[in-house]
Amino acid sequence: MARQLPLELPSIEQLGRDDLIVSHSNTLAAEAIDAWPDWQHNVLLIVGPEGSGKTHLARIWAEAADATILGLGEIGPLSGGFRLVIDDIDRPDVADSDLFAPINAARLGQGWVLATSRVSPKMMAGRLPDLVSRLSAAARADLDPPDDVLFEGILAKRFSDHQLVVDPPTLTYLATRIERTGSAARAIVEDINRQALAEKSRITKPFVRRVLERHSGAGMSSG
């Protein structure tokens, strides 16, 4: 009999305020977005590595502020009181001219901008000095590497996005054996989900150990 392929349901990523896990690692950023519109500066820059939760925070603010989330090359004429989210402003394919106008206008009190970046303004190679200066003067919230509470919460949320519930001891076991980044969490949860569907297995600590052993060649510890 041919092996039946597992039916993998699409992951539905929840990015609401109630879905945000707050710990020491991201408290300042969460407090900053919650404080709007009483910001002391009309530009907020959230800085953190890939997978650290910048986009989630930006989406929360966008919903609260009814802000426009801009893609590459989408920045057009600005109206009074505009509210914009600009993700990953450190990307080399984002033109200085697309950034300068809204950031300068917000700096002058004409609107608000929440921008995200993987690096600080001074580390943005090739940016115009005037733009770097304005970004450096903005309010800034850095995301620290995930602590234990946050990383286990990230894993739990990733499983929940797949409609899966995993017990706390298994989450702790997994969290201590993979790279502590959002991208690593996403990759391993997707693989565990696929394997569980294929084997029709519950996600237990022994099951997770076996999945990690398959990844040992990629630098993950089986523990």
**Nearest C-alpha neighbor of 185 from the set 13, 16, 35:** 13
Domain boundaries, the chain: 23-142, 148-217
CA dist., res. 20 & res. 86, Å (int): 20
Architecture of domain 148-217: Orthogonal Bundle (1.10)
pTM of structure:
0.74
Give the tens place of pLDDT for each residue, 22-63.
Answer: 888 889 999 999 999 999 999 999 999 877 788 889 999 999
Confirm if 171 and 156 have CB atoms less than 8 A apart: yes
pLDDT, averaged across the chain? 85
Does the domain at residues 23-142 carry the CATH identifier 3.40.50.300?
yes
Paired tokens of 126: 């090739």
Give the tens place of pLDDT for each residue, 52-94.
Answer: 788 889 999 999 999 998 765 566 678 889 999 998 999 888 8
